[in-house]
Amino acid sequence: MRIASHDLPNNVFVAPMAGVTDRPFRRLCKALGAGYAVSEMVTSRKELWNSLKTSRRADHTGEPGPIAVQIAGTDAQMMAEAAAYNIDRGAQIIDINMGCPAKKVCNKWAGSALMQNEPLALQIAQAVVAACAPRGVPVTLKMRTGWCAGHRNAVNLARDFEAAGIQMLTVHGRTREQGYKGQAEYDTIAAVKAAVRIPVVANGDIDSPHKAREVLRHTGADAVMIGRAAQGRPWIFREVAHFLATGELLAPPLVAEVQRLLLAHLDEHIDLYGEWTGVRSARKHIGWYVRALPGGEALRQQINAIDNPQSQRDAVAAYFDALAAQMDRLPEQAPALAQHHEDTEEQDA
């Protein structure tokens, strides 16, 4: 798998998810077999670039390349400037967000709302490519199948984006109207793949090695992108990559390994966000790790009452010590996809 001059180790990618796919999470997923990870979306609004949230999202310290940053906005010139801003801060690939269905994004006509305005969507793609090409930085784009069931225009837009110089397309198999409801459909992704020559990535409801293989076969896509199924289960990337390469399933991870991974994740999370914010934003990650495990709900309730990072860490360590006394490995069954509402921050962008 290759994006311009960047060779990737495999074709199993991490989806950009606001409030989730921060630097600690991306580093962890890459260490556990993800071939590529795209950052949380960074706004194109200049007045927010110096905010704490944006500065954290633009922090790529210690992250293995290629560094891919997703940008979001509605003005072509502002998006071009945002691309340059992020390249100056280490971005090696720029991804344009035309896939986020969150109301707070779409109400401002950004994200997947741009698919309703094809001329503007194309202007943004052209402007960002023009800003990135002289610096040797490829531009990719993530979108949905369309705005609604009666307006699936991903194929037409894909042709226009390819002509504008976009070098890879990711398609989530739902419309904006669907949000995360119902089932993702892959026929539109297959049609996009048949319509363009650039790499196409399939996204939506990919939650197991078998599902990844099925989607690749159905769509002819070059890669799969996994979002919600990786929340609390970052080892899914090595499971999928191994299965696609060998046809064999890996055993579930040892409880001791999951404990080590989660504690290291918490340490890096606190280091990025600080104690007050970090201990609170880490709660969702802990909840995802243990949601399908014995006593997981009790731990989640306990964690939600803790506001000290060392106490949080101690509670997690004690939980996994007790779990290890009951079982060596995690159960075979995969946890269900995390459920999100459209107005929450944690969104597959």
The residues carrying an active-site annotation are 100
Burial class (CB in 10 A: 0-12, 13-18, 19+), 186: buried
As a residue count, the chain comes to: 349
Report the half-sphere exposure of 114 (CA within 13 A, side-chain side): 28
CB 87 within 8 A of CB 76: no
CA distance 43 to 30: 24
Burial class (CB in 10 A: 0-12, 13-18, 19+), 218: middle
Which residues are CB-neighbours of 193 under 8 A, at least 6 positions away?
Answer: 200, 219, 220, 221, 222
CA distance 208 to 141: 24
What is the dihedral sign for C-alpha 293, 298, 300, 306? negative
DSSP 314: H
CB 319 within 8 A of CB 313: no
Q: Which two tokens stand for residue 38?
A: 């795209």
Ramachandran angles phi, psi of 2, nearest 5°: -145, 135
